A and B are shown apart, each in its own frame.
Chain A
Amino acid sequence: MTDDREAADAQAADARAAEERDELSAAGRLSSAPVAEQDQPEAEVVGIGVLGWLRWTWRQLTSMRVALILLFLLSLAAVPGSLIPQTAASPSKVEAWQEKHKAWVSLFDKLGMFHVYSSFWFSAIYILLFVSLVGCIIPRTWQFVGVLRARPPAAPRHLVRLPVYATWRSSADADTVLTAAHGALRKRRFRTSAAGDAISSEKGYLREFGNLLFHISLVAMLIAFAVTKLAGGQGTVIVVEGGTFSNNVTQYDDFEPSSLYTADSLKAFGFTLDGFDASFQTSGSARGEAVNFDARLSYWLGSDGKKTSGTASVNHPLQVDGDNIYLTAHGFAPVIKVTNAKGEVIYDGATPCLPQDANVTSLCTIKVTDGYVGKDGKKTQLGFSGIFAPTAEVDPVLGPRSTFPAANNPGLFITGYQGDLGMDTGIAQSVYQLDTTAMKQLKLDKTNPWKAQLHPGQGMKLPDGGTITMTGLKQWANFTVAHNPGTGSALVSSALAIIGLIGSLFVQRRRIWVRAVTGADGVTVVELAGLARSESSRIADELAEVALVLQDSAPADRDGDGTDHGEDADDDPSAEDPELTATSLSKER
């Protein structure tokens, strides 16, 4: 007899343990958090060959812990790029840095410290992270599809064990209660499923959906970045007012192609810079700061299409045939005319000068390659270099400089050289730099070098005959013509990522079970239980609302008075679990 009892007890205990596991797993599946990896037994790792190791590695890589470490590493790895100058952003800053820290250069170069974001280690981290991400998304997507296709899980046998619980005795019969509960839950947009004496319901699937959407969007965003990197490119060009540019690699000052975007990919269009407007602050501490830049353009599509006018200004690129034309810089181009001793014009054109400071004090270089004959009767080349200032002032210490970025008092301050400009050596030469190694400075006499200060309309004689004249002043604008495929998809995926994020953070997934059992005495015991993630404290409120609605069709017996939970004594929650708080706040009116 006792043996039988013990056996029965053991059986019941087993059943209960199994059920607790079920309930726990129900809670686990409800969480949108990844399931924490269970430690793999060592035996599985040792002596399992290559395949086993691969499986182990994959499992580690897709585990939350490793993903967390990779995220951490990613943030750490991004730091040096913000402290050390990067080639992609500013090659000149990199050079300056390298000058200052010579000892570090070779090591940093090997580590790719000057192009951190394309270095092997940075790439390794984010690629591993995304592999880990994909390895996590795919199974979870299948799991989620499974959840959507399945019904909400059946009610656990002991609802009282769930975090939120309510019960009462009612004289209404069980079917009425369940029908009412079904209606109430449906009205609250719960997905419901009736099984036996209970109704299961679940809500908040958008949480996991949002979570998956967010992570999938991140992958899509990475792909969009890759597309931009592989198939995008850009070129920059300086165009002087009145000048024309056609989208051809030979016309660019600088062209940055990519694997899939080469000189052949350039679309046929062109534009003329009709005019450039700039305005600046004229007073206050920010005097001279730009207020507005506008480049007025006429552009055409194809080889000889119709001209359309447009404006490129800061923040507002001009879109032409899917490419964007950005206004990235501006400056001045004095129009210079040089004649030789015979009076023949040997140079005439607007010469862009490169701005050096905020007031557009600029460096000018003029190279006259042909047509000049020196005193000795031999052909020679001329080179002029100096400073252009839109609002010129000669500082006794600093020399000529500009005091305002607009052309209020333009002045050109130059010295000259004659000899070989070195343009035939075959080495590429910047048009903005004068190589004076094979040149001699022009001199007035033995000691004094030839110097000129020119204002528009003014000219100056050259020591060996001829003149140099500044006939006018134009402005130039620097344009970046960029082809960025993938931008649209990056934008769409980032928008989806935010929507997904909102869903995954603010939607709460929760379950409510209702059970109604009519006993032999004709009294129905109604039980309600709720389960939600710990962040949601509303489950108690929600359960209360459902309980309230159910009072219509299944009013609580007044005799019950809330102390009897209609369960076996050993299920009394407070007796079993000291943490459990059962309280009645009775305010009889």
Chain B
Amino acid sequence: MNLAAAESVNSNLAHISNVLIYSSMAVYLFAFLAYTAEWTFGGRSRVARQSAALSARPGESVATAVAEAEAAASTAAPTVSVSVAKAGGGTTTLTRTVAAKAGKVDIVAKGDSAPPVEGAGASGGDEQADRLGRIAVSLTTLAALLQLGGVVTRGMSAGRPPWGNLYEFTCAMTLVAVMVFLGLLYSGRDVRWLGLPLMLGVLTGLGVAVTVLYAASEQLVPALHSYWLWIHVSGAMICGGALYAGAITAGMYVCKDFYEAARAEGRTKGGRWSDICERMPSAATLDKLSYRINAIVFPLWTFTIVAGAIWAESAWGHYWQWDPTETWAFITWVVYACYLHARATAGWKGRKAAVLALVAFSCYLINAYGVSIFINGVHSYAGL
């Protein structure tokens, strides 16, 4: 009946973890304010907006993906370099030594293959706002490090994966979302516009976690003593973080798409609302990004469900028994399948599909939180 010393909980570490999580929340709050300020002050500068609008015209370097093979003009060893301007900034350059002097080759892209016109980003090209944005990213990085410390110490305090109950799950999931965001930023993708909605989600998630979901660091019930905890739950967690990003993007796409349609018909009034929309990435980019995120998550989500079924088979004797959590995972899966199909179906692509992505994400939320809190099933590990 006695527990081995190694199995007991280190309450010191658990306390450090709590402090770190609270500190990260404070820093996230500052980051949130900085992102808000970036959007606010970025919109103020008319000059910046005009210059942004100018640089966003089709045919300009930023806006057009042009690949070009270009010969070195007079050097002895001629090289050809091809630069492809990416949608959303960044350039890839390929260089190659060629046998003979060569002329220039244009690569022309049109229709779906042509890059869309992007907004100028949250700062709207304003230097001061841009500085605020960079401060916000630094704060986000600091907060993520604090949160990482919080999650790791939490896991160490009980000597197990730090996602044994809903509180830990939420902390780890929001951390994954932030780390993916930072990863994209540091790898050169211009996704700073995601910062504000991301901070909103992270703060809400952590806020709910520390107030409603909090559970002290403990050992796990025997049903969770399995390596599938690493696999199944971390899968669900990564999916959650990524799907949130997918849902934000889908939501922004709906806004921007309405705005672009209005602009095409000349119905834009140029108020604060259109000012914000103007700075968002183009509807096509948002749509593509949302699709990509959701498409990457879908196989992972499928895997998470299958892993759960394998675990259930060894834990409960059935790989599937329509437990509420299983049911909602299935519903989420089917709605995401709807989204993927809708996107490829005439009459459904575009806004309707984006709305489906939002519905699917709410199904995920019901699955992770609603079911654990309001419906009791065999997945009753929330620690509530």
Binding site for B on A (CB under 8 A): 31-34, 36, 64-65, 67-68, 71-72, 74-75, 78-79, 81-83, 86, 88-89, 116-117, 163-169, 225, 234, 278-286, 289-293, 313-317, 324, 326, 328, 406, 408, 480, 482, 484, 487, 490-491, 494-495, 497-498, 501-502, 505-506, 530, 532, 534-535, 537, 539-541, 543-545, 547-549, 551-552, 555-562, 573, 577, 579-589
Binding site for A on B (CB under 8 A): 1-3, 7-9, 58-59, 61, 64-73, 75, 80, 82-85, 87, 92, 94, 96, 98-115, 215-216, 218-219, 221-223, 225-226, 228, 288, 291-292, 295-296, 298-299, 302-303, 306, 309-311, 313-324, 327-328, 330-331, 334-335, 337-338, 340-342, 344-348, 363, 371, 375, 377
Given contacts A81-B322, A316-B314, contact A291 B108 (CB under 8 A): no
* B222-A585 in contact (CB<8A): no
* A406-B1 in contact (CB<8A): yes
The 23 listed contacts between A and B (C-beta, < 8 Å) are A65-B347, A71-B334, A75-B330, A75-B338, A75-B363, A78-B331, A89-B323, A165-B107, A167-B105, A168-B103, A278-B1, A280-B1, A315-B223, A482-B318, A501-B299, A530-B113, A544-B82, A558-B101, A581-B109, A584-B66, A584-B104, A588-B73, A589-B75
* B105-A556 in contact (CB<8A): yes
* B225-A292 in contact (CB<8A): yes
* A583-B2 in contact (CB<8A): no
A88 to B317, CA, bound (A): 14
Partner of B69, one of A65, A234, A286, A544: A544
Determine chain A's interface SS by DSSP, over half rule.
Answer: mixed
Residue in B7, B324, B337 with the greatest tally of chain A CB atoms within 10 Å: B337
* B216-A285 in contact (CB<8A): yes
Q: Which residues of A contact B8 (CB under 8 A)?
A: 283
* A562-B1 in contact (CB<8A): no
Q: Which residues of B contact A577 (CB under 8 A)?
A: 110
Closest B residue to A408 by beta carbon equals B1
Q: Which residues of B contact A549 (CB under 8 A)?
A: 96
Given contacts A75-B338, A164-B109, A317-B317, contact A82 B371 (CB under 8 A): yes
Q: Which residues of B contact A491 (CB under 8 A)?
A: 306, 310
Q: Which residues of B contact A585 (CB under 8 A)?
A: 61, 66, 68, 83, 85
Given contacts A315-B223, A540-B84, contact A68 B341 (CB under 8 A): yes
Partner of A279, one of B3, B110, B330, B377: B3
* B306-A163 in contact (CB<8A): no
Given contacts A71-B337, A285-B218, A291-B3, contact A164 B105 (CB under 8 A): no
* A164-B108 in contact (CB<8A): yes
Closest B residue to A76 by beta carbon equals B331
Q: Which residues of B contact A494 (CB under 8 A)?
A: 302, 306, 309
Partner of B330, one of A78, A163, A539: A78
A586 to B306, CA, bound (A): 53
* B323-A555 in contact (CB<8A): no
Q: Which residues of B contact A72 (CB under 8 A)?
A: 335, 338
* A89-B306 in contact (CB<8A): no
Knowing that A64-B344, A505-B298 touch, tell me 6 more A-B residue pairs with CB under 8 angstroms. A75-B331, A81-B327, A482-B317, A534-B113, A540-B109, A559-B103
Q: Which residues of B contact A65 (CB under 8 A)?
A: 345, 347
